Structure 1
């Protein structure tokens, strides 16, 4: 039996029922987060929760629980499902009311749901690297908000899948923004390059960890937008996210990066990232 989060309770999966007029279902009117679980422990949970509240504020949605309470509920969700290595997905919508583009009245209560699943780490991708493809970025202009409106990302990811690629690298005109579900990085002449954290990308939590790792291993960082051609000319390219960790990109639309081999700086960043992962708790 699996367990889910429903508002402020941990319930069985069968007890989760969403109203047909929930605004998340009808409008994508809500936000979400994904937190990685390593060795039964939530990784960078506070950072994810903080961003969850920032996203809520940006769409004028009031979360009816404190950060401390939400953190407690997510921990209970992991324990209830006995997750060792996996992730939590949780979201909140503006609630259920008669369909109307205008916000519902104040008595409509937001709906919080969450699930926790056991998943393996992507060791094959981390070791061998992946292929990617360029896809036009057709998403809205507030990509910094982690909203439920993901159709642009879904279409891009599907196009990548149909081309036999792991990720779609999005671009507006010639400017690379991010992946469909990742942040994009390149290394050139011993400098790490990535798009600045503005409204065109999500300010990824793993992105922040990568930038910390770069500082710790002496890799300078330049947060500046790159063109497609500049990305293709990088010595190394990798993507990063909660579930992808630090994944090397060895091919973009048939053009090999670093001769199709994982680069030295990427390996160093992977190793430094590994030091951040919580160790198993001794009993």
Structure 2
């Protein structure tokens, strides 16, 4: 199946050179992005992803080049052209092409970019086994709720995790657990579900909110409050979540090995997978 790309005003070949030197995403990381998972040809929680896209745009004072309805239509057209049933839609909007200057171009010239690729499938045996993660100090900016193109601290932390044979690096600020490089973090303790509150310091994950809604359906008490690294080490169960990873159990955090029995995590995974 073909992988599909779109830049500015047209669908293009995935390998076509289309990004000008003076594109602000290229020079400043001046833009935002979203990733939407597609199951069986249907975008998963697209409305929620596009709502977050608009919130990110508003937060950085970025004028979108298309309406939400037009973006949705472009996603549908890209999916149709790809023929993919299980796909990943990546979209980003930059502040456009303009001679290099720090302040915004006037008039606005924002540019929409999109790719449609085969989805990354997580092996179920990995989900059963769980993953090893490590902790690292959070050195990012204070507005991580914005899905910004500026991801250098995340990239460096993810590389550190890879070098240390870990699936993810978990950011903490003075010992308080925040989130992963590309995931949200949950702890289950005494049959309660804990996660960092949806403040400006973390990404307000779509999967994160789905999990909280599922927990309510399952009558699992959810507590959105800060907790420290030691609380994570002492978890009865823990997992990370994201659009691509869904719900992934944690088997080890740094040197702390977590229990292999994960009854509530398994329930949440089962309920999540019923949604698609």
Please, what TM-score do these two structures have when normalized by structure 2?
0.96
Query: What residue in structure 2 maps to residue 173 of structure 1?
Result: 174
Report the Cα distance in structure 2 between the residues aligned to 1:41 and 1:21, rounded to whole angstroms: 35
How far apart in 1 are the matches of 2:183 and 2:49?
Answer: 15
Deviates more, 1:1-10 or 1:165-174: 1-10
Aligned to 1:56: 57
Distance 2:81 2:118 in 1: 12
Total equivalences in the alignment: 274
Deviation, 1:9, is 3.2
Question: Which runs of 5 or more residues in structure 2 are unaligned?
Answer: none
Deviations 1:82-128 (A, max 9, x none): 1111211110100011111111111x411111111113421233221
Query: How does 1:131-280 map onto structure 2 within 5 Å?
Result: 131-258=132-259, 261-277=260-276
Structure 1 pair 20–262 and aligned structure 2 pair: CA distance change class (3 A): farther
Structure 2: distance between partners of 1:249 and 1:2: 32
Distance 1:234 1:264, change over 3 A: same
Unaligned runs of 5+ in 1: 278-283
Q: Deviations over 1:140-190 (max 9, x none)?
A: 000000000000100111101100000001101111000010000000001
162-171 or 84-93: which moved more? 84-93
SS at match of 1:169: strand
Check the 8 A contact 1:9/1:73 in 2, yes or no. no
Question: How far is the alpha carbon of 1:262 from its aligned partner?
Answer: 4.6
Q: Secondary structure in 2 aligned to 1:234?
A: coil
Q: Partners of 2:60 and 2:261 in 1: how far apart?
A: 40
Within 5 Å, give how 1:12-27 maps onto structure 2: 12-15=13-16, 17-27=18-28
The 2-side partners of 1:2 and 1:84 are apart by: 12
Q: Return the TM-score normalized by structure 1.
A: 0.94
Alpha-carbon RMSD: 1.2
Deviation of the 1:8 alpha carbon: 4.3
SS of 1:266's equivalent?
Answer: helix
Aligned residue for 1:77, secondary structure, equals: helix
Pair 28,120 (structure 1): closer, same or farther in 2 beyond 3 Å = closer
Asked if the contact 1:91–1:114 (Cα under 8 Å) also holds between the matched residues in 2, the reply is yes
What is the SS of the residue equivalent to 1:13?
coil
